[in-house]
Amino acid sequence: MREGASKLLAACSQREQALEAAKSLLTCNARILALLSQLQRMRKTQTLQRMGSSDVDERLPCTGKLAISDLRIPLMWKDSKYFKNKGGKSNLNQCAVFCLLHCGNQIYDTNLVMVDRTLTDVCFEDSILFHEVDPGFQLQVELYSSSVEDDLLTGSLGPRRLSRLGGSLGRTSGKKIRAALESAASCGNKGDPAEGSSSPPPLLPHPVGPKYQLLAHTTLSIAHVKDSFKTHDLSLAATVWLPLYGNMCCRLVAQPLCTVQQVISGELKLKFTDDTDSWENIYGVLKGTSLFCYQSEEDSGSEKPPMLKITINKDTIVCVSDKEPLQFQVLYISTQCRGEDLSYTLAFHAPEDTQRWMEVLWQHFYNISQWRHCCDNVMKIEEPANRKALKVKQVTPSSAEEGLVIQDLSTEICALLSTYYNERTEDE
């Protein structure tokens, strides 16, 4: 992906293509660094496990989904300089802006937004969803910008690459396109022409083209999660192209798996009164902050409401006792519901069921304690719509890399890359 974006960036003749290719290249570099960091952490964990170190946590909280949407960054233009619109549209000083979002080894970028002095807010309509996020997540939001210029063909292209590119764009019009690119390349080629004709120039880490600069950044954690629109502070870079206020607004929501998935279920006995003979067979389902009690397993799978709902939260106390005159252990649950103290007594049909439920309950309490207020109510998360960049399925740079999926390039760039590499394979 990185090699393809670099080659296309050096050959772009359209402003939009060059901006998208440069953005894709920056995103690819960030993903490579994130994957290398993840690999290093995995190796460290494996080493500690082999050494029997106690630093490795045995109990881990459940993961969940994290979604950020409605991202807005207000601008602070000076009235005398920007809103009089003197000089016409050509002097609006446009720049391309996008956000890069890091959460662990998951990195996504927003769509490009063209910004000029007529805008008072930079609005990103993207809804970005992160999967398998732990409660200790650190979501980094970085704002990048690049100045928009008409002439982006300032690099150099070797004749061999130009011939392949011209062929991939069509046999008939290839000569005209190749001649135009050769002319543009010769203007920016400062090396020896004789040397340039022998082989293509090496792939540079930062090819010629649009350069994105970091304008501002911030880090969001579980403390910033709220099921509503909220403002967060931004740390501004040393040189800022845009007049930023120093904050951003977004909706950051989290959905732990323990709140939306069934944790455990099974047959139980519930005692309603102090009378030891007053037991009733029920079917219990633990999900979120409630233990739902149904008359049968069939009722739990239907739309029938539960006969009883026991609140399970961080303040709930659970203990096991065998003092009851029964042949099995019982489970005492003390909890609060709407300010009222409530107690329940549950029993299991087999000792292994008691152990299984207790282990699941302790893990559930641990999940709730780590996810904190995210477990109070189930926050709604909508699956983001498929972005335009995801429509092209595969690009095959070489026969050894078949099946490579490019997911962060625009449709137009992916199509150009696919055609380019297919024609190169035919020529060879």
Consecutive sets of 10 residues in the chain, 428 residues long: mean pLDDT of each?
74 80 87 87 84 68 96 83 50 82 93 89 94 96 83 40 43 46 41 38 51 93 94 85 89 95 92 71 93 92 90 88 64 84 86 89 94 93 63 34 41 52 53
Place of tokens 């996020």: 133
Q: DSSP readout, 221-282?
A: -GGG--SSEEEEE-EEPSS-SS-B-SEEEEEEEEEEHHHHSEEEEEEEEEE-SS-TT-EEEE
Q: Give pLDDT, residue 428.
A: 53
Look up the CATH number of the domain holding residue 33: 2.60.40.150
Q: Are residues 251 and 266 in the same domain?
A: no
Phi, psi angle pair for 34, to nearest 5°? -65, -40
Left, alpha or beta for 17 (phi > 0: left; psi -120 to 50: alpha)?
alpha
Contact by Cβ (8 Å): 381, 253: yes
Residue 8 in domain: yes
Q: DSSP readout, 178-222?
A: HHHHHHHHHHH--S-HHHHTTSPPP--SS-SS---EEEEEEEE-G
Residue 383 in domain: no
Residue 296 in domain: yes
Range(s) of the domain holding residue 231: 2-257
Q: Are residues 236 and 275 in the same domain?
A: no
Please list, in sequence order, all residues whose beta carbon lies within 8 angstroms of the beta carbon of residue 336, skipping any fewer than 6 positions away: 311, 315, 316, 342
Q: Give pLDDT, residue 45.
A: 81
Overall domain count for the chain: 2
Cβ neighbourhood burial of 28 (10 Å; 0-12, 13-18, 19+): buried
Q: Are residues 143 and 39 in the same domain?
A: yes
Q: Are residues 253 and 332 in the same domain?
A: no
Residue 187 in domain: yes
Q: Are residues 272 and 246 in the same domain?
A: no
Using the 3D structure, point to which of 199, 230, 257 is the last residue of a domain: 257
Query: Half-sphere exposure (CA, 13 Å, Cβ side) for 155?
Result: 24
Residue 194 in domain: yes
Calpha distance 8→160 (Å, rounded): 14
Look up the CATH number of the domain holding residue 342: 2.30.29.30
Q: Are residues 102 and 192 in the same domain?
A: yes
Q: Are residues 32 and 86 in the same domain?
A: yes
Residue 217 in domain: yes
Q: Give pLDDT, residue 183.
A: 43
Calpha distance 195→207 (Å, rounded): 19
Place of tokens 């024609």: 423
Q: Give pLDDT, residue 158.
A: 39
pTM of model > 0.75: no
Q: Are residues 244 and 293 in the same domain?
A: no
